[in-house]
Amino acid sequence: MKKIILFFFLLSVHSAFAIAPVTMSGSSPALENSYNIGTSNTFIYTITNNVPNRSFPITVSGISNLITRTTVSNDCGNALPAGVSSCNIGIVIAPTSSNANTSINQTLSVNYQGRIPLTNTIAFSVPSTPPVFIAAGQDLTGAQPPLIVVSQNGGSSFSKASTTSLTTNGSLAGASCTGSGTNAICAAGGQDIATSTALLALSTNGGSTWTKITSIDLTNARIFGTGCTGSGANAICTAVGADSGSLPLLLVSQNGGSSFFQVDTSGFVSKGSFSGISCIGSGTTARCIAAGANHSDSLLVISQDGGSNWSQINTSFTNETFSGVSCTGSGGTAICAAGGGNNTTLPLLAVSQDGGSTWSQIDTSNFAGGKFLGMSCTGSGANAICIAAGAAGSVQPPLLNVSQNGGSSWSKINTSSFTTNGQFFAASCTGSGTNAVCIAAGQDLTGTTPPLLLVSQNGGSNWSQVNTTPFTTNGSFNSTSCTGSGTSAICIAAGSDTSIVTAPLLIISTDGGSTWSQITTSLPARGQFSATAVAG
């Protein structure tokens, strides 16, 4: 009998030591490498009490400054409930300007009744300055001047920039920013309706003030897009569209916007226009790709020396034109994707894996037809993520195509589960690999025709639809821009609310697209946004 009792005693001791009495999980979601100033990020750690019928008081220590404890669902409070049970500890990471350009390394410590505490390391960096966001379009009140709103604190707040020095009546169709903080350089282009000229506006202080470029005669010209890269006095800024003689318009600055010159495009085509441009790198090694139309055919031109010299890329993409282009990476290994079409045949999609030098056409026969309108690439090399978004035509789901291997292969995303009739006008991706966040923005053409916004938080593998009805029941998103990665990515989407009158619509997410809030301050009662941009 004693032997039997001893056996069960030893068995119970062995079982007790086989399972740790109290454990703590890793964070959910997983920690990222960096978090931007102005963002607020919540993480949950699960504490499991494996001791039957025994509770423990707890204390949490080791975190301070930008990391604080917060109450979450099933919060542990100050005690672990009697086991076997589990509860949660929540923390918030909220960097401020005082944390700029620092590396954070703290240890979350949970002490339960004097025993060896449970610990988890919290390590990440905070970039030196918060990202700058701009949204540009037209104020439809008064004389209807251009509209620019700016955030210099990562989207925490926006203010309306003065455009009185630009024109009394005009609109902006494209925007781009480069650099960081109050030194960011931004270019926005469109039309000066009051004088029937193209409008090119430049800011060299993070969007605080804007000046009109007047050194070039832009009478009867139009600007559709801009592209900037680099920083400071070596930043490259470009603007594209159509000139007064129906030739493609191409403007370049090689000194951070201090001066611009017009590129002679008559050697490329006798008639055409550029719809978009993408630039990467800096200074004399920057690469820019401009995409558009040569009559009714496609047009691509490239500069590999910061905009000094341009050459046309020979393509065989006839009877189709490009709507947009996006590049990521650097130099001769950069990945570029250009998309377009003519709405009556298959959408046009072309990829370069050597910095824009050579291009190959992607088979889009898995689509019935349509046109890609928004392009975005992020990451680098064989792991670059690219998406192409657009419209399939009358009463069709919108187009969405994704590559997760640098453009080598593409997967069609079935969007019919989101809407049976809709269109995407814009796309934006940020981050890399499975942590990349991608946005496709446009309009759902069913029901009351609300804005349409899809989000992927894993590099384009899976997509979810954002409920936009709290913002408006009728309207569209015309542009979107993102920066950062994973759950700390910040994204904005901008367009128009047409539920009553045409009013500007601007929303933001600071948690990788999971939740969104509307920006209403500093916006006019009537207006619309056509372009967005981010620096940092």
In the predicted model, residues of the chain with pLDDT beneath 50 are 1-17
CA distance 367 to 213: 42
Q: Kindly state the tokens that stand for 12.
A: 């119970």
Whole-structure pTM value: 0.81
Helix (H, G, I), strand (E, B) or coil at 452: strand
> Taking a C-beta distance cutoff of 8 angstroms, is the pair 181, 201 a contact?
no
How does pLDDT run across 133-149, given as a tens digit for each residue?
999 999 999 999 999 99
The predicted structure's pLDDT at residue 19: 66
CA distance 58 to 53: 16
User: In sequence order, which ranges of 189-289 are alpha helices (DSSP H)?
Assistant: none
CA distance 374 to 522: 28
The predicted structure's pLDDT at residue 97: 64
CA distance 302 to 311: 5
> To 10 degrees, the CA torsion angle through 20, 26, 28, 34?
170
- The H or E element that residue 133 is part of is strand 132-139
The predicted structure's pLDDT at residue 101: 83
Q: How far is CA 101 from the centre of its chain?
A: 22
The predicted structure's pLDDT at residue 535: 94
Query: 191: closest CA among 534, 531, 532?
Result: 531
Based on C-alpha coordinates, what's the Rg of the chain?
26
